[in-house]
Structure 1
Amino acid sequence: MGAPIAEQIRERLQQALDPVALDVQDEGYKHVGHANEGKGHFHVRIVSAAFAGQLPIKRHRLVYAALQGLMDQGIHALSIDAKAPGE
């Protein structure tokens, strides 16, 4: 079996977006009893120069692009807080 999903999220975002700050939280415990029994719920806080001048939707698309494939293999829900440095 591969690395835990949270670790895979961290690794992919590090490689794709070179963040200056990154926090990945497994929030499955907040969703017990919901779809997938609370598994696969994550929150990402990321600060990257790649987000400078980008609208929030573009920032989210960059995160989703970096996580391509994981969205179908372990991530059920993902909330994103994406900022550029200095925001």
Structure 2
Amino acid sequence: MTLSLRERMETKLKAAFAANEIEVIDESHKHAGHLVHEGGAPQGGETHFRIRIVSPAFAGKSRVERHRAVNALLAEEFAAGMHALALEARAPGE
């Protein structure tokens, strides 16, 4: 069985950051009908995501450092067609 992009990202994030909490939400449907060159989603989705993640790995890291770490981990997904990522990355207790 082939995993969806959402499932692959969730697996990578859990493994890399030992997340206490993680939510990967496909928001591509919110962009349906827009022109692809304007950032809209093509038919089939899996281009626009929101990630909410809480991990001890983010303790002491700035917001920019957290975003860079997640973006670097998901570089392959961006290269494969993921267009946009909204990210909420926190350390426990924040």
TM-score (norm 1): 0.91
Matches within 5 A, 1:65-80: 65-80=72-87
Residue ranges of structure 2 left out of the alignment (5+ in a row): none
Give 2:8's aligned residue: 8
The structural deviation recorded for 1:68 is: 2.3
Q: CA deviation at 1:37?
A: 2.5
How much is the aligned-residue C-alpha RMSD, in angstroms? 1.5
Q: Secondary structure at the match of 1:53?
A: coil
Equivalent residue number for residue 20 of structure 1: 20
- In structure 2, how many angstroms separate the alpha carbons of the residues matched to 1:76 and 1:63? 15
Q: Which residue of 2 aligns with 1:37?
A: 42
- In the alignment, the residues of structure 1 paired with residue 91 and residue 33 of structure 2 have an alpha-carbon distance, to the nearest angstrom, of 35
Structure 1 residue runs of 4 or more that deviate by more than 6 Å after TM superposition: none
How far apart, in 1, do the equivalents of 2:20 and 2:10 lie? 12
1:33-82 alpha-carbon deviations (Å, 9 max, x no partner): 22242731100000001111111110001111221211111311111000
Q: What are the ranges of 5 or more consecutive residues in structure 1 without an aligned counterpart?
A: none
Higher Cα radius of gyration: 2
User: Identity of paired residues, percent?
Assistant: 41
1:47 matched to 2:54? The reply is yes
Q: The residue matched to 2:86 in structure 1 has which SS?
A: strand
Q: Which has the higher contact order (CA 8 A, sep 6+)?
A: 1
Question: How many corresponding residue pairs?
Answer: 87
Deviations 1:5-51 (A, max 9, x none): 00011011011111000000000111012224273110000000111
Q: Matched residues in 1 for 2:12 and 2:71: separation?
A: 10
